[in-house]
Amino acid sequence: ILATPVFAKDLDPLVEVTKLTPTIRLDMRYATPDNFLHRAVYSKPTCLLHKSVADRLALAQKRLAVQGYGLKLWDCYRPHAVQVEMWALVPDDRYVADPKKGSRHNRGAAVDLTLVDTQGQDLEMPTAFDDFTEKAARASKSAWTPQAQQHYEILNAAMSNEAFSPLPSEWWHYDAPAWERFAILDKPL
C-alpha cells in the first residue's frame, strides 16, 4: 500500500538534474545491467529529483568544482515498482527500503553518487556502488584506504553543507532534508 501524497507535485515538481546542472555526470546503473539486479530496470538513463533537492545538489556540485572535483550520479528518483523488484532480491532494509514503507528514492528525495575529478574520472572510494557489506558502512572508515577516506570526506562535506543526510550503511547514499514530506511515486522514467 502506498502512502497518501502529502506534498503537491506542482509546488516542487520532479526535474531532470542535468538540465538544471549540466556539469553533473550520470552513470545511471539501473538503466544498464551493471547493477545488483543484473538487468536494466529503468527505460532511460535520467536523473529526476524534486526541484528543491536538485537545487541543493547543484550547490554541492558548485562547491566541489571550486575544489577541482565533481559529482557522478548513480541513482535518483526510482519508481515504486522497481523498489518492489529490489526488495524481492535483497529484503534487508539496511540496503533496500521495504516497499511497504517506500524508499526515499521513490519520493525523488534521495541520491546515490560518487566523487569524480574535473574530467569525470572516478576517484577511489570506499567500495563499489551497491556493495551490500559492512565495508560500505560509514562506520567502517578504519577499513578504507587513506585515499578512499579522503575522497569520502570531500564528498561528505559537500553534501552535508547542503543539508543532505547520509545513510549509515551506504557511503554513497544521501537523503534530502524533509524527504518524508514528499509522496511515494510510481511514475515510469
**Residue 134 catalytic?**
no
- The string of pLDDT tens digits covering residues 83-141 is 999 999 999 999 999 999 999 999 999 999 999 999 999 999 999 999 999 999 999 99
Q: What average pLDDT score do residues 158-184 get?
A: 97
Instruction: Give the whole-number percent of the chain exceeding pLDDT 90.
Output: 94
pLDDT digits (tens, 9 = 90+) for 84-98: 999 999 999 999 999
Residue range 55-76, pLDDT digits in tens: 999 999 999 999 999 999 999 9
- Report the pLDDT value the prediction gives residue 37, as an integer from 0 to 100: 96
CA 113-162-171 angle, 5° bins: 35
**Residue 10 pLDDT grade (very low, low, confident, very high; cuts 50, 70, 90):** low
| pLDDT band, residue 4 (cuts 50/70/90) | very low
Active-site residue (options: 16, 85, 153, 170): 170
Q: What is the pLDDT of residue 159?
A: 98
The per-residue DSSP string of 74-137 comes to EE----HHHHHHHHHH---TTTS--TTT--TGGGT-EEEEEEEETT--B---SS-TT--SGGGS
Whether the per-residue pLDDT at 9 is higher than 90: the answer is: no
